[in-house]
Amino acid sequence: MKKTLLMILSVWVGLLSAISLAPAALSQQVVQYQIAARLDPQAKAVVGSETLTWLNPSSDEVRELQFHLYLNAFKNEKSTFMRESGGQLRGDQAEEGKWGYIDVQSIKLDSGYDLKPSMKFLHPDDDNADDQTVMVATLPEPVRPNGTITLKIDFYSKLPRVFARTGYFGNFYMVGQWFPKIGVYESSGMRYATRGQWNCHQFHATSEFYADYGAYHVDLTVPSNYVVGATGVEQGNHPNKDGTTTHTFVQEDVHDFAWTADPTYIRMERLFDASRLTTAAEISDVARLVGRSPEDVSLQNVRMILLIHPEHAAQADRHFRALEYGLKYFGLWYGRYPYPTITVVDPAYKAGGAAGMEYPTLFTAGTGWLPSSPPSGLEEVVIHEFGHQYWYGMVGSNEFEESWLDEGFNTYSTSQVIDTAYGPSSLSIPFMGIPFSWFISSIKYFEDTVNRLETLGSTRRDYIVRNAWEYYDQTSYGVNSYPRTAATLRTLQHLVGDQTFARIMRTYFERWRFKHPTSNDFRAIVNEVAGRDMKWFFDQLVYSSNILDYAVDKVSSERPKLSLGLFDDPSGKRKEVTEDDRKKQEKEAADSKKRNDSLFESEVIVRRLGGVVVPVDVRVVFENGEQFDTTFDGQYRWTRYKFLKPTKIRYAEVDPEHRLLVDVNLANNSRTLETHHRAVVKWTSKFMFWIQNLLMSLMALV
Amino acid sequence: MTAWEIFCQGRYLANRTKKLWFLLWLMNALLAAVAALPVFGVLNAELKNSLMAASLADRFSLDFAGEFAFKYWDSLPSALILIAALGMVYVVLTLLTTGGTLAVFSCTERRFTAPVFFKGCGTYFWRFFRLLIVAAIFYGIFVVALNGVLSSLVNKLTRPWTQQRLVLLVSWTRLLVVAFVFIVVNMVFDYAKVRLVIDEGRSAVMAALRSIKFVFRNFKKTLAVFVFCMLLGLLFIVIYNPLEHVLPQHTRRWIIVVFVLQQLFILARTYVRLTFFSSEVLLYESLRPSHAPAQEAPAAVPTTFEAGSSPSSPSASWTPPPGEAPAIDPTI
C-alpha cells in the first residue's frame, strides 16, 4: 500500500514537474495543423492531407468556416490576382501553361460528416465570380463559443512556375501558401469588427497575408536526394522504401508554414551566440534607452540555418553576418527572438519571384553571382526579411488591410539596422551583371535618404493606410507601404525624441506580439508613451495625402532709408526731407558701417507650401554669429520675422536639424542673403561636359 | 609599312592640324553650352540662395538630385527633345566637317588651310549624307538586328539554365560579338568616307561595298590601326578619370581648373578622332590596289584646289619633313 502510494505520489510529482517545465504557449493557439505532404517532382505538385483543429475564440456561435486557397490565384487569367497584376509581379512574369492551383479533394469533420457538398467559393472583395481563392464550408452544427472543431482535408496543390513567391524552377521548390488555410474569425470589438465575422480576403496582387497563431506539425515526404528546409524545428527524418525521405517539422506560435526543397542546396548551420555577439555595455545602453532591465533586453542563442545554392556558397558569410545583425538589433531594440531556429533560403537563379519573402522562422533572401560590396541588396534583403519575423511574424497585423504595419515598420527597422551595422550604403547599378561599384567609387547614402526620395512622388495619390488592393496602383501600394511609412516613422521619431520613440516601438512589440493589432493600437501606444496626443500627426501624415513643405521665402537686410516728404516736428515746425538729405544719411550710414555701428532692418518670411501643418523650427543666423531660434506653428500659410540689429542676416533656415524627413523640398528650406554660384557653375559645367562627350560619341558614328 | 607606323604617322598628321582641333572643339562646346544654359538657369534659381549650394559645391547630394529629378520630371521630354535636336545639328555639322577634315588629310600638304577645309566641307557633304543613310541601314542590320537576334537566341538557349554564371558568360560573349561587329561596321564606313574623298567617288553604296572589300582584304591592318586609335582614346580616359576624381572641386579656382581639364579631355577626344581619320587616310593610300585611278567620274571640285593641295592626287610617298616624324617605310 505504502509502495503504491509512493508510486502514485511520484507519478503525480513527475506530471506536475513535466507541466511546469513545458514551455508556455506564447500565443492563443487558435489553430492546430497536422499535415502530411508528399512532393511529386514529376507533376510539380504536392499531395497533402491535413487535420485542422480550430478553436472558436469568440463568444459567437460560428456556423461556417472560411478558408484561403491562395494557389488558385495562379489558376487562370481570370483570378483576381491575375487580373490585378496582369500576370506580372515584382519583375516576374507568369508563364503560360505553367499554372498553379489547389484542389480540395475532400473535407470532412472528424465525425466523418462530409462538408464538400456545402463548399463554395466566396469573393468578398471584388465580386469576381471567377476567383477561387476563398472557400466557405457550412457546418451542420455551429461551433460553440470557445469550442473546437476538427476537420480532415485532403488536397492537391499544383505548383506554378515560380512567379509570385511560390512555385518551382527546375528542381527548386519554394512551397508557400500551399495548403487550405483557415481565415481569422474576428469577434465584435476585435480590430475593426463591429460584429463577429470572418476576415478572409481574396488573394490580391498587392496583398499579403493574415492568419491566426497556432501549432504546426508537418511531415514532408520528398525524394531522398533533396535538401529540405521549413518553418520550425526538424524533429527527425526517416527514409522510405520508395527512395523518399519523410522530414518532420514542428513549430508552435506561428501563423503559417512554408517549406523548400532542392537537391542542389548546400546546408550550412551556425549558432547565433548571444553572449559573443552582444556586449554587456550594448545591453546596458539599450536597456537604458528602452526603459527595461538588462535581463529583459538580453538575447538568447538561435540556430541559424542557411540553404544556399553552390553558385553563391562564397557569400555564405555575408548571409550569416547580416542575419546576426538582424537577430542582434531587432532583438535588443524590440524584444528577443523567441524561436530556436531561423532558416534563410537562397532561391535558385531565375526563381527571383520566390526571393525576398517572409514566412515564420524561415525566409527567402536573394543574391546574384556577382554581388556588390556590402551593404548591398543581399544584406538588405536578409535583414528586411528577417525583420518580418517581428513585423508580420510575431506582431500579426492584417497585411491585407494595413500593410504599413508590417512592410513600413519593417522598412523603418531595416534601415536603422543597416545604418547602425554597416554605415552608409553605396549606390550600385549593375551592368550585364557586373556591379559598377567594383570599378568606380560610388555615391554613398544612408537609408533615410532613399526612403525619403522614394516617397517624394507618392503622397499625392493615397493615404498610407488603405486596403492593399485599393491603392491607386502597385507603385502607390509599394511606396506608401514601404518607404513612405519608414520616412514618416523617422519623422515621428525626430518629433518625440529618440528615447521616447525607442520605448514606443518596444512597447508596441511587447504588447502586441502574437496578437493582431491595428493602426489605432499603434497610435494609442504612441500617445501613451509620448504622453501627449499625437492624433494631429497621424491625421496629417498617415491618413492624408497632403505634402509637407516649408520654405524660407524671403531674407533681406537693409539700412533704414530716410523717408521723403514734409514732416511736422513737436514744436509745430514743418520740415522737408529731400533726396539730398537721404543721400547724406546714406553716406553717414556707409561711414558708420566702417565703424560697425550701422543698424539694419532685416526681414525673414517663412512659408508653408504644403498642406501638412507641423510646428517647424526656424533659425536665423546673423553675420556677427548671433543666432535667433524660434518655432513657426504653421497654422497660417506664412509668417514674418523682423529684426533691427547692427548686423546683416547671413541665412535663415527652417527645420535646421532636419527632423522633418518627409519635407519634399530641402533646397527651399534655407535662404542666404548672398548668392552662391560655385555649385551652380560646377554642376552646370559637369552637365555640359557630359553633353560634350555624348556629342563626341555621336561624331564617331557619323 | 606596319600598322603601328601608320598609326604614328597618323598621330603626327593630327598633331599638325591644331586649328582643326580647335574648330571641332569649338563646335562641340558651343552646342553643349546651348544645352547647358537651361540647366544653369534652373540650378541657379534653385540654389543660388540655398544653403544646399554649399554642400553641393563640396559633393554630390543624392537628396538634391532626387528632389531635382522629381520636381523637373515633367520637363524631361522637353530636355530630351532639346538634346536630340542639338544632336541632329551636330550630326549635320559633323558631316560637313568630316569632308573638310578628310580633304585636309588627303591633300598634298596635309596641313589645315581654310580653303582646303571649307571646300572639302562643301564638296563632300551630300555624299556623306547619302553614306550616312547607307550606314544607318548597315548599323540597323548588323548591329541592332544582330543584337536582337543574338539576344533572343541567348535567351532561348539559357532559359532552362540554373546557373547565373553561365548565363552571364554567354551574355558577355554576345556583347563582345556585337561590339566587334560594331567596330567592323564603323571601320567600313570610315574607309568609305576616305574612299569617297580620295577616289572622288560619288556613289555612297559603291563606296560602302568597296570599303567592305578593302577592310576584309586588309583586315589585320585596318583592325590594328583601329585598335591603336581606340587604345589612344582609352589612354586619355585612364589619365583623365582619376585626375578629375582626386582634384578638389569646392573652390572657385579648382572649379575652373577642372573645367579646363574637362575641355582638354574633349580636345583629346577630338585629337583621337582626327588620328582615326589621318591614320585611315594613310592606310588607305598605302594599300589602295596599285594606286588605281578612280573608277567613277571625278568630281568637278578638286580642280579648284590650290596647286599642290588637290585631295584627288594624294601623294602616297608623302613623308613628313626630316626630324618631324618617325621614319617612314619607303615601300609605301
Report d(CA A644, CA A528) in Å as an integer.
Answer: 44
Whether A28-263 and A550-676 share one fold: the answer is yes
pLDDT at position A438, please? 75
Residue B132 forms contact with A (CB below 8 Å): yes
Placement of cell 589612344 in the chain = B232
pLDDT at A20 over 60: no
Summarised one tens digit per residue, pLDDT across range B6-20 is: 999 999 999 999 999
Whether B326 is covered by a domain: the verdict is no
Residues of chain B with pLDDT under 70: 289-332
Whether B9 is covered by a domain: the verdict is yes
Whether B331 is covered by a domain: the verdict is no
What values do phi and psi take at A552, rounded to 5? -90, 115
Q: Would you call B251 and A453 a contact, using CB atoms and an 8 Å cutoff?
A: no
Q: What is the extent of the structural domain holding B124? A: 3-304
Q: Would you call B255 and A311 a contact, using CB atoms and an 8 Å cutoff?
A: no
Summarised one tens digit per residue, pLDDT across range A530-579 is: 999 999 999 999 999 999 999 999 999 998 888 889 998 888 888 888 98
Q: Would you call B64 and A667 a contact, using CB atoms and an 8 Å cutoff?
A: yes
By mean pLDDT, which of A1-5, A151-155, A688-692 is the weakest? A1-5
In A325-437 the beta strands, taken as DSSP E runs, fall at: 341-345, 357-359, 362-364, 425-426, 430-431, 434-435
Q: Would you call B164 and A667 a contact, using CB atoms and an 8 Å cutoff?
A: no
Whether B51 is covered by a domain: the verdict is yes
Whether B210 is covered by a domain: the verdict is yes
Give me the CATH topology for the region A28-263: Immunoglobulin-like (2.60.40)
Summarised one tens digit per residue, pLDDT across range A176-195 is: 999 999 999 999 999 999 99
Could you tell me which chain A residue has the CA closest to the CA of B42?
A: A680
**Strand order, beta sheet including A172-175:** A167-169, A172-175, A259-262, A227-230
Q: Per-residue confidence at A7, pLDDT binned at 50, 70, 90?
A: low
Q: Per-residue confidence at A702, pLDDT binned at 50, 70, 90?
A: confident
pLDDT at A508 over 50: yes
Whether B19 is covered by a domain: the verdict is yes
Nearest-Cα distance to chain B for A691, in Å, is 6
Summarised one tens digit per residue, pLDDT across range A371-382 is: 988 898 999 999
Q: Would you call B54 and A676 a contact, using CB atoms and an 8 Å cutoff?
A: yes
Which residues in chain A touch residue B87, judged by CB atoms under 8 angstroms apart?
694-695, 698
Q: A550-676 — its CATH code?
A: 2.60.40
- Find residues 100-129 of chain B whose CB sits inside 8 Å of chain A: 128
Sign of CA dihedral B124, B129, B130, B131: positive
Which residues in chain A touch residue B162, judged by CB atoms under 8 angstroms apart?
169-170, 172, 264, 348-350
Report d(CA A500, CA A290) in Å as an integer.
Answer: 8
Q: Residue A617 forms beta bridges with which residues?
A: A631
Summarised one tens digit per residue, pLDDT across range A335-364 is: 999 999 999 999 999 898 999 999 999 999
Measure CB to CB from residue B47 to each of A169, A680, A687 and give the nearest one: A680
Residue B54 forms contact with A (CB below 8 Å): yes
pLDDT at A239 over 50: yes
Report d(CA B56, CA B39) in Å as an integer.
Answer: 15
Q: Per-residue confidence at A598, pLDDT binned at 50, 70, 90?
A: confident
Report d(CA A296, CA A277) in Å as an integer.
Answer: 17
pLDDT at position A459, please? 62
Summarised one tens digit per residue, pLDDT across range A190-203 is: 999 999 999 999 99
Boundaries of every domain in chain A:
28-263, 550-676
